[in-house]
A and B are shown apart, each in its own frame.
Chain A
Amino acid sequence: MSRHRLTVVLSQAQGKHPVKRGLEESIVAALIMEPGLDVSVVPYLYDLGPDHTGRLFLESVAGDMVVLSWLYPRAAFWLLDRDGIKGHLGETQLKPPTADEEDEDDEEGEPEAPKGIGAVDVPDRFIYCLDLRDFNTADPYVEEIRRIAAECRTRQEEKAKSNAKPVMVDLGIPLAASRSPDSFGQPETTNGKNGQASPPTFAPEQLLTTPDRRWYPVIDYSRCTNCMECIDFCLFGVYGVDSLDRINVENQDNCKRGCPACSRVCPEHAIMFPDYKTPAIAGAPVGNISGLKIDLSRLFGGDAKDALAQAVTERDRELVNDGRTAVGMTVGIPRRQAGKPQEPKDELDNLMDELDKLDL
């Protein structure tokens, strides 16, 4: 019996979209029959508060993990990082059908990307984030998870060989219904929904308690340079610094629903709002925005402005809603506006510029 088990967590969509539920269920049904996997289902990742059972479960997983969610992988990965569910970014080979031509560059989401300050205290395990919007059938996901499981097994075996130290113990990881390592293709019949493997302390109905919707920024530390412009700009006390003087999202729920202003102000586009409908702000993979549905928000929202003006408007609106006074351009306006030399732009910068130019 292999000791290297892979935890697969599927994070459901918000609401009860029947098509999305259908895909979720067919993926779980297929995975539950795979050997070597522990499959669990939690609600929408972004909404999980610190006390939610689903979050506690995620925190309890110590080994390699695959997270399937309706979020961009970059957003999901850094969201988990913020919640203390850390690991190295697992490189997925699962790409949306349109992204094939232009992936000779590594994705920007890697922690070791030179631009940002990176994550700290990263344990020795890998987290793979897959985007459930990439395909509408279960097969590509199941195939990729098989590949990831093999990759993790190989990596761990090599590690075990090189330094004969004991393999990390997976706390609270249950046994799946089917364990035989060579039972591919001949799985036992298991009910996909009820047969999911959860530790007794994390009963499925607790795991799946519908959380209230939340709204807060997620920092991509592979891009963040710790410039502190967001903490200057946001007047709601969302941002803070940790003991290492690194910027962090200290008070997530101080954030104002629907307001992505700090994201527009961030010079490195390191701030994501996973629920925001503009892909670049929601954490879309860099250089891979095409192939999505058209976003008509600008059209339906009326006039638009440049990013900073829009951010100021959004901030003022929230200030007024709070019974405070609008401050316009007088507080926390990025210093780079005063002529900081521009660094070379990458694809995400260019994309954001393009979006800003659409003055609808």
Chain B
Amino acid sequence: MLEHAQIRQILPQRHPMLLLDRVVSIEPGVSIRAIKAVSACEPCYAGLPDGLDPDSYAYPVSLLIESFGQAAAVLWLVSTASQRDSRPDKGAGPAADAPGNAAGDDIFLFGAARDCVIESPAYPGDVLCHTARLGRVLDGAALVAGEILVGHRRIAVMGSLIAAIRPARTIPRRGGTHHGIT
């Protein structure tokens, strides 16, 4: 199991775009189960007026997919940590020495999502449970598929997500922080 502190060592996203709370289980190279608690205190609920239809308060689909994508990113980053650690161009410094750390290494970028079906919405109080399975991995790209469950209820099918993998040094940084890169 990987808790928040360890997830920070792996993913470059930070508040408010770090959308993965805990990794429940991981089989490197194969699959991951990870969770994210949806809460009414998240930025996407700020400024929403009262009195809307209940489904207007559904957690945004874009963030469901982003959160799933971050689970996929952890899977890929943990799976490839030992390969990346031994690369001569690996970034130097204490943060980069942590296992699977993305700070000096490769960033898992959202490329495309296909055949994704949102079957029912998620609301504050729901705990999203992502199951992501690694498919074909190529040099510079990876395909992932899976589902999102809330309890026993499947709320989404992620048919095919394709991620581009690029060295961190090739990605421009704004103001010293990464912004929503999966």
A-B complex is real: no
Task: Identify the B interface with A (CB < 8 A).
Answer: none
